[in-house]
């Protein structure tokens, strides 16, 4: 085999290897793009899962813990920082049992004249009257309603 033939064989081999290299680089680039897309999708899904968990906890505990819309941001930060602490503070409740935590009476805090500027609900005023005056629950509630009605 002559030197010219060896040179042609090497050039052909070099061209084949260059094509294989370009093909491998193209596949690697496509794989990197796919991987980036999958990571972005996973990050979006994780963020959506966090928001859904916070929304569920907010709806479940808004009445029981007196949460307002402004608390959602704090809840989201807590859930993002420490999910286990968030779940300890707002344990997940089955959807079929969430209604048990809601406050159905929506008691408003009324101003009571004998307590100055302190605002108490009927329930809180009734408890206070039971302790202070030794009234039964029914009597304390009747008196509390009367006091709040007069204050309005």
The answer to whether the beta carbons of residues 93 and 60 sit under 8 Å apart is yes
Report d(CA 129, CA 116) in Å as an integer.
15
> Six-digit token pair at 96?
């079929």
> Six-digit token pair at 80?
């993002």
At 91, is the secondary structure helix, strand, or coil?
coil
Residue 62: other Cβ atoms inside 10 A: 17
Q: What rounded mean pLDDT belongs to the chain?
A: 84
Mind listing the pLDDT tens digit for each residue in 66-76? 888 888 999 99
pLDDT score at 28: 92
Report d(CA 12, CA 38) in Å as an integer.
39
Mind listing the pLDDT tens digit for each residue in 43-68? 999 999 999 999 999 988 888 888 88
Number of H helices, E strands in the chain: 5, 2
pLDDT score at 33: 93
pLDDT score at 43: 94
- How much of the chain, in percent, has pLDDT values that exceed 70? 86
> Six-digit token pair at 118?
């302190």
pLDDT band at 34 (very low <50, low <70, confident <90, very high): very high
pLDDT score at 114: 52
Q: How far is CA 61 from CA 11, 67, 73, 147, in A?
A: 74, 7, 15, 30
Mind listing the pLDDT tens digit for each residue in 4-31? 888 888 899 999 999 999 999 999 999 9
pLDDT score at 110: 47
pLDDT score at 1: 65
Q: What's the predicted TM-score (pTM) here?
A: 0.51
């Amino acid at each position: 085999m002559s030197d010219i033939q060896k040179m042609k064989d090497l050039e052909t081999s070099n061209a084949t290897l260059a094509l294989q290299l370009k093909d491998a680089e193209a596949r690697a680039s496509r794989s990197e793009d796919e991987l980036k897309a999958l990571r972005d999708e996973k990050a979006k899904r994780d963020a959506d899962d966090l928001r859904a968990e916070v929304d569920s906890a907010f709806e479940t505990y808004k009445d029981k813990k007196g949460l307002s819309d402004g608390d959602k941001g704090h809840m989201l930060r807590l859930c993002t920082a420490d999910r286990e602490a968030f779940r300890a503070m707002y344990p997940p409740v089955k959807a079929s049992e969430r209604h048990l935590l809601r406050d159905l009476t929506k008691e408003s805090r009324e101003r009571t004249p004998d307590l100055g500027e302190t605002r108490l609900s009927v329930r809180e005023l009734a408890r206070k009257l039971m302790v202070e005056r030794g009234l039964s629950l029914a009597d304390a509630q009747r008196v509390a309603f009367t006091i709040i009605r007069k204050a309005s």
